[in-house]
Chain A
């Protein structure tokens, strides 16, 4: 799990030397195949069309959970997939966002739309303070340190019952906009969808910018990036904070949507689930993160009929995908499609 392959670097990769010089325009097909336009378009179409297939509240619940997980995973992918740093504690930031919204609205009467950014700000600050010392570490040591962060957050939430309700969790007031309570699947579907599209857009923008190249550069060759003028420490801290803030926002959404929060949200297994979604969908692929979140949220639901075999089948599917698609679902499939297209 902690083994982070350099993204896009694989012995399976076919040698491809194609040139696009300045002045030659991209063909319409290339534009459609590009992540930014083609991918964003596909995502928006799918999100817009999906409600046609959603028949009941349960299905809306699943779709919304996918969206919330996807927001976390898109952020975590910036950290893991692009910058090459691991975190096994991001469920902690997710839970802190959820509890910030819960506590600020339920105990202090703040409006939810204010509690969310305040929570995100607090989590961002905490992530910043934590990041400086622990991002000196790398590999297994960084995994251990971030694991510790998540565990501590989980313990604090469970123990400080006067504030958090302890292991039983606490109730979160519904979000209200202009006197209207936001309640029910259809409304939350669109709220979460909007946040997800925003997260994906921001992620794509970062990656395709000097900041994104610095992040990918320090992943690929840290010393070379440093010598090229990239303050690698600063960029690692920056991406850690960005991913923590995105997790926090997703946590706030989850809190208001389900109107209940429990310390479970900060559990180690929740952190592992997020990391698995990144790797499964495909590291260093923003849409891979969305697909990873979707598949791994949906699969357990689809396998529920197998009762006691559910976890075994889930495990087998995950092993099969990682063995046959070591780069993750989306990079493998797009690579395949591109090679098909090139052959024609």
Chain B
């Protein structure tokens, strides 16, 4: 059964059709990549799925529940999490505090309990901190736990985004260009992190330009062009699809 199903999805900004009548499915436990030239609508699609945009038409189902138009924090509750292509790091906090914000839904948020600093709050915070340190170790940030986020280099912040997204223990994780701007070694590390996450049972959707990463790790690839589905299938099928080659290299 599919975890996420998109039906006839469209959104327009002014006169621009950013996504047009898109249909696809993502099955549970797979790594699913979305590729396409710049401006194809990949990030727009992410924003639609995570509730930042409201579609002009169509529907998005998570476990057969219609989620289009729901607010992002409600979707987080349903097990959706994501990272951002342009970093959205809380620069006013430390690295681990960023990750702990990702833990929000798993903690007691009762205002009175927090105001009085009841023992259960401090105890839960301690446990959360421990869990978040594990996540930071996983993404290779074990040495920067209490560092100010604003003092970390770009590559570390990309990984911090992944740790924060994982802290909510999502079922469906959307990664928007996790390897953009990283060197080959860092990309390899991200590759390993994604594989580990997927092995833990999290369904991963990936927007990425690094074809080596995409082709190596994906179970399934969706190719977008001008907001439409251009092709879909296994990495091999997509690689040999003439329409995909044309879109990337231009008409021969």
Complexed CA–CA distance, A20 and B117 (Å): 22
Report A241 CB to chain B, min CB distance, Å: 10
| Contact call A217/B147, Cβ cutoff below 8 A | no
Report A261 CB to chain B, min CB distance, Å: 28
Complexed CA–CA distance, A229 and B124 (Å): 18
1/0 contact trace for A25-37 toward B, CB 8 Å? 0000000000000
Complexed CA–CA distance, A22 and B129 (Å): 9
User: B72 contacts which chain A residues (CB < 8 A)?
Assistant: 223, 226-227
1/0 contact trace for A214-228 toward B, CB 8 Å? 101101110111111
Q: Which of A13, A209, A213, A221 is close to B151, meaning CB atoms less than 8 Å apart?
A: A13
B-side interface residues, number (CB < 8 Å):
52
Q: Which of A8, A210, A225, A229 is close to B77, meaning CB atoms less than 8 Å apart?
A: A229
Q: Does B100 contact A (CB under 8 A)?
A: yes
Report A227 CB to chain B, min CB distance, Å: 5
| Contact call B76/A227, Cβ cutoff below 8 A | yes
Q: Does A206 contact B (CB under 8 A)?
A: yes
| Contact call B114/A210, Cβ cutoff below 8 A | yes
Residue of A nearest to B52 (CB): A223
Complexed CA–CA distance, A169 and B56 (Å): 56
| Contact call A231/B73, Cβ cutoff below 8 A | yes
Report B77 CB to chain A, min CB distance, Å: 6
Residue of A nearest to B84 (CB): A224
Q: Does A172 contact B (CB under 8 A)?
A: no
**In residues 108-163 of chain B, which contact A (Cβ within 8 Å)?**
108-109, 111, 114-117, 121, 124-125, 129-130, 133, 143-151, 161
| Contact call A8/B150, Cβ cutoff below 8 A | yes
Q: Does A122 contact B (CB under 8 A)?
A: no
Q: Does B185 contact A (CB under 8 A)?
A: no
Q: Does B32 contact A (CB under 8 A)?
A: no
1/0 contact trace for B209-237 toward A, CB 8 Å? 00000000000000000000000000000
Given A21-B133, A224-B84: A214 touches B92 (CB 8 Å cut-off):
no
Complexed CA–CA distance, A220 and B90 (Å): 4
Given A22-B130, A205-B115: A228 touches B91 (CB 8 Å cut-off):
no
| Contact call A220/B133, Cβ cutoff below 8 A | no
Given A21-B133, A224-B164, A229-B76: A216 touches B151 (CB 8 Å cut-off):
no
User: A252 contacts which chain B residues (CB < 8 A)?
Assistant: none
User: B116 contacts which chain A residues (CB < 8 A)?
Assistant: 202, 205
Complexed CA–CA distance, A190 and B90 (Å): 39
Q: Which of A18, A216, A231 is close to B92, meaning CB atoms less than 8 Å apart?
A: A216
Q: Does B177 contact A (CB under 8 A)?
A: no
| Contact call B144/A220, Cβ cutoff below 8 A | no
User: B121 contacts which chain A residues (CB < 8 A)?
Assistant: 209-210
Q: Could you say which of B114, B125, B144, B147 has the most chain A C-beta atoms within 10 Å of its C-beta?
A: B114
Given A17-B147, A214-B101: A223 touches B92 (CB 8 Å cut-off):
no
Given A8-B148, A229-B76: A224 touches B88 (CB 8 Å cut-off):
yes
Given A20-B145, A209-B121: A228 touches B93 (CB 8 Å cut-off):
no
Given A13-B150, A229-B76: A6 touches B82 (CB 8 Å cut-off):
no
**In residues 93-109 of chain B, which contact A (Cβ within 8 Å)?**
93, 97-98, 100-105, 107-109
User: B97 contacts which chain A residues (CB < 8 A)?
Assistant: 213, 216
Q: Does A267 contact B (CB under 8 A)?
A: no
Q: Does B10 contact A (CB under 8 A)?
A: no
User: A281 contacts which chain B residues (CB < 8 A)?
Assistant: none
| Contact call A213/B93, Cβ cutoff below 8 A | yes
User: B71 contacts which chain A residues (CB < 8 A)?
Assistant: 226, 231
Assign chain A's interface to a size class. Answer: 35 or more
Complexed CA–CA distance, A217 and B98 (Å): 7
| Contact call A22/B109, Cβ cutoff below 8 A | no
Q: Which of B92, B114, B129 is close to A211, meaning CB atoms less than 8 Å apart?
A: B114
| Contact call B146/A18, Cβ cutoff below 8 A | yes
Q: Which of B93, B105, B114 is close to A205, meaning CB atoms less than 8 Å apart?
A: B114
Complexed CA–CA distance, A19 and B149 (Å): 13
Q: Does A56 contact B (CB under 8 A)?
A: no
Residue of B nearest to A205 (CB): B117
Residue of A nearest to B76 (CB): A229
**In residues 212-251 of chain A, which contact B (Cβ within 8 Å)?**
212-214, 216-217, 219-221, 223-232, 238
Q: Which of B89, B117, B151, B167 is close to A17, meaning CB atoms less than 8 Å apart?
A: B151
Q: Which of A20, A224, A228 is close to B146, meaning CB atoms less than 8 Å apart?
A: A20
Residue of A nearest to B75 (CB): A227
Complexed CA–CA distance, A228 and B167 (Å): 9
User: A19 contacts which chain B residues (CB < 8 A)?
Assistant: 143-147
| Contact call B148/A13, Cβ cutoff below 8 A | yes
| Contact call A210/B145, Cβ cutoff below 8 A | no
15 CB contacts below 8 A, A to B, read A8-B91, A9-B92, A9-B150, A18-B146, A20-B146, A209-B114, A210-B121, A210-B124, A213-B97, A216-B93, A219-B90, A225-B104, A226-B73, A227-B72, A228-B165
* 3 interchain residue pairs of minimum CB distance: A220-B90, A229-B76, A209-B114
